[in-house]
Structure 1
């Protein structure tokens, strides 16, 4: 049958390509397309001469009745298409699995003369060189080791080169970014190859193969071929990402890096001596990522669909917010918390060039952002695990007003006391102000970073409107946060972020609200002993009414600002949707009639649903907030 080989593609290689394409399409970026085209081109150009030689020397062949008949350098077009489709499928799997990874945190500065990395590099090179040597011996000997030798001589030198360029990344990256995208396609193609060999779709000549099999029907040479080709694809992608990570992470070395580097730029980045890497920047990014993974999972998920230097800046910004929040929240008493607010103000004053004083009252002469006195202030007054985040904050790209407003929001938190659990929240307007300061400011700063990295043709008036909309969206997210944490805030900090008028409508005060939460808490002895009483159920109904009102307010801000997302630069549009929708899904969970999952006192969104919401947001604009 003249379509045997074509049927292999229709049955086994094209369906996975379609599935992977559908899964990857919402995540696809120009850089991803560039990688795929780059790898496919190299795969085809490097494989054609080798494959043509094998066919012309009768090491393997294709039955005339199994192929269409069209050839390129004696290679059936179906075989050339195999080079393309295998590279495409393995590349897509790698891209999908690597999307959450911030590659810049896996760079390592090597201390000259003292680094273990040189031994790791040499060990890998030596091992691959021995395999090349064995391949040459097989080819020279001829006979039944010929095909295996030709595979090793062709593939392993490329692996040797890629290892020499990207050994750090190949060792450091999570196994989901290296072993899995090699192992899964290899196992799948082993099965496909077994079926094809049994069917006679392609044939290895008896005199040039060892006769060894991995399992019945799968020649060892074919097993090695598919393993090595998938290693080549993944090694090539890792080397590409290694180069881009260097370009993204070190603006001091590459101040004018564009999103799509030329092959020459990629090679230069790979050849940049690791001794010149900025170790503090790498460690600072690692700390930022670890902080967000532990404390801001929704934002960390959303950050994975941003790319390049924008993603790095957003992660640093959000890590700074977490640092400031933790310093104040974890203070041993209100006096220490207020001192941290003042210390942070001094830091901002120094970064933005305003006159300021040290904690003991001495005048400091401000200089350039994050240099001189600013750095000294950070090193003297902040905990070691926070210092690099503060040093990395891109103050040259952020307006100072929102950062100072953020500190005012922290000051509002300090007005909550045991005798005044409502603190500064005396009206709905006060709650709006609080949300604007602690969350609207952060959203506005995110939009500023987007506009900085993708300025395009956006007018100043449009940019200001987008920032106002981002500010409102931040308020929506804060209302969601308050609704989620009503019980936690009342139990742990004795704070009630609900206007007194709302409480009064439910015949409650801030004090009675805290008492009711305490009684209905799962840890309460009365609640655990006999279950929820009628009185408890009545209180929970009031709690639900207050939460519903907070959510109504959240969706009001959300609905009036969400359309602005579609006016953002195209590179940030879908990622920003993910950032917003991942968090607003918490609000939707709280509105679900069937209830919601609570962990550590907070309503949570299951991982599978977060992923689904993120994927749906990437596909296009989401509908009305209250309905979804």
Structure 2
């Protein structure tokens, strides 16, 4: 007995996840997550009845938990930096551009997920989601909002720009449209094979948006390519990491039958391309939106306006 009068005894509590981790060709436990032994000794006072300790205590990580752990913290940090930093984009124009991107993301992605989820392209672990609307969890709809916010707030730090007028050669516009439509056509062809079903729908879904964006501003985007690369790469890599962790923990599971089996850093190539494409949508869309408004007003991207009533990307 210890001096405090308590005798400590060891009670072995088995830890298990309430979300099943279903193995597939992408594996589990390969990303350096901390190893939890099957039995952990927890000392408890001798006076506490051991029958009150749940022998199957669960430690779940839900889809909403993914948002809380991995999306909200960087959003809060980047939002604070964008608001405080003089060199960051802030004001009516970038924020209204973000609002437009959120609406488009929800409207355009909702049919996409509600087509692929019932087809069995991916599904969610038991107890990982709160509820569904149509075939899609409410947490997925929330992700349609949070991803553009996260991406845009990083974009506001980078401020990609180029001093180019709205006049773009017609051949450049045609090449941009052709590039996006070619991606859609490839997607249509890939739909014919079960193993490329996810990839095909992704290309078919992404192609029209890229055709519009590249057709409108491909030359401007090329001129701003270096800063755009930074604006696109960082959130894409971060979302790859979050997706990899969620798959590893069984929050959602990607179908073996509807994917090619190729992986990038342990992440299914289809998932990697999805986050790359959606980040492209947001970064290119907001950047061109600000570019157009600045040029319509005849204001250079580097011109400052009234600090009391910010309206442009550089107005503070």
> Is the TM-score greater than 0.5?
yes
C-alpha deviation, 1:149, in angstroms: 0.4
The 8 Å contact of residues 180 and 214 in structure 2, kept in 1 or not, is answered as no
Confirm or deny that 1:241 pairs with 2:293. no
Q: Which of residues 62, 74, 81 is equivalent to 2:124? A: 62
C-alpha deviation, 1:64, in angstroms: 2.7
Q: 1:123 maps to what in 2?
A: 175
C-alpha deviation, 1:120, in angstroms: 3.2
1:346-386 CA-to-partner distances (Å, cap 9, x unmatched) read xxxxxxxxxxxxxxxxxxxxxxxxxxxxxxxxxxxxxxxxx
Cα gap change, 1:108 to 1:28, in 2 (>3 Å):
closer
C-alpha deviation, 1:109, in angstroms: 4.0
Confirm or deny that 1:169 pairs with 2:227. no
Q: 1:16 maps to what in 2?
A: 74
Matches within 5 A, 1:255-270: none
Q: Which of residues 261, 265, 271 is equivalent to 1:211? A: 261
Q: 2:98 maps to what in 1?
A: 36
C-alpha deviation, 1:220, in angstroms: 0.6
The 8 Å contact of residues 59 and 208 in structure 1, kept in 2 or not, is answered as yes
Matches within 5 A, 1:67-78: 67-68=129-130, 70-78=131-139
1:106 and 1:32 map into 2 onto residues whose CA distance is: 19
2:76 and 2:213 map into 1 onto residues whose CA distance is: 29
The 8 Å contact of residues 213 and 220 in structure 1, kept in 2 or not, is answered as yes
C-alpha deviation, 1:239, in angstroms: 2.7
C-alpha deviation, 1:197, in angstroms: 1.1
C-alpha deviation, 1:174, in angstroms: 5.1
Cα gap change, 1:79 to 1:109, in 2 (>3 Å):
closer
Bigger helix fraction: 1
2:93 and 2:291 map into 1 onto residues whose CA distance is: 14
C-alpha deviation, 1:242, in angstroms: 3.1
2:179 and 2:115 map into 1 onto residues whose CA distance is: 27
1:205 and 1:166 map into 2 onto residues whose CA distance is: 36
Q: Which of residues 131, 143, 148 is equivalent to 1:87? A: 148
Q: 2:204 maps to what in 1?
A: 153
Q: How many residues align?
A: 252
Secondary structure, in 3 states, of the residue corresponding to 2:260? coil
Over aligned residues, Cα RMSD in angstroms?
A: 2.5
2:237 and 2:71 map into 1 onto residues whose CA distance is: 13
1:569 and 1:11 map into 2 onto residues whose CA distance is: 35
Q: Which runs of 4+ in 1 moved over 6 A?
A: none
C-alpha deviation, 1:243, in angstroms: 2.0
Matches within 5 A, 1:178-577: 178-216=228-266, 218-249=267-298, 306=304, 310=305, 569-571=308-310
2:74 and 2:110 map into 1 onto residues whose CA distance is: 24
Q: Whose relative contact order is higher, 1 or 2, with alpha carbons under 8 Å and at least 6 apart?
A: 2
Secondary structure, in 3 states, of the residue corresponding to 2:231? helix
1:166-195 CA-to-partner distances (Å, cap 9, x unmatched) read 22221122521x111111111111111111
1:431-475 CA-to-partner distances (Å, cap 9, x unmatched) read xxxxxxxxxxxxxxxxxxx5xxxxxxxxxxxxxxxxxxxxxxxxx
C-alpha deviation, 1:29, in angstroms: 1.1
- TM-score (normalizing by structure 1): 0.38
1:123-168 CA-to-partner distances (Å, cap 9, x unmatched) read 33333332221100011x1311000001110112111111111222
Secondary structure, in 3 states, of the residue corresponding to 2:257? helix
- TM-score (normalizing by structure 2): 0.73
Secondary structure, in 3 states, of the residue corresponding to 1:208? coil
1:148 and 1:185 map into 2 onto residues whose CA distance is: 21
Q: 1:52 maps to what in 2?
A: 114
Secondary structure, in 3 states, of the residue corresponding to 1:124? helix
Unaligned stretches of 5+ in structure 1?
111-116, 251-284, 290-302, 311-449, 451-567, 577-617, 619-628
Q: Which of residues 55, 58, 65 is equivalent to 1:7? A: 65
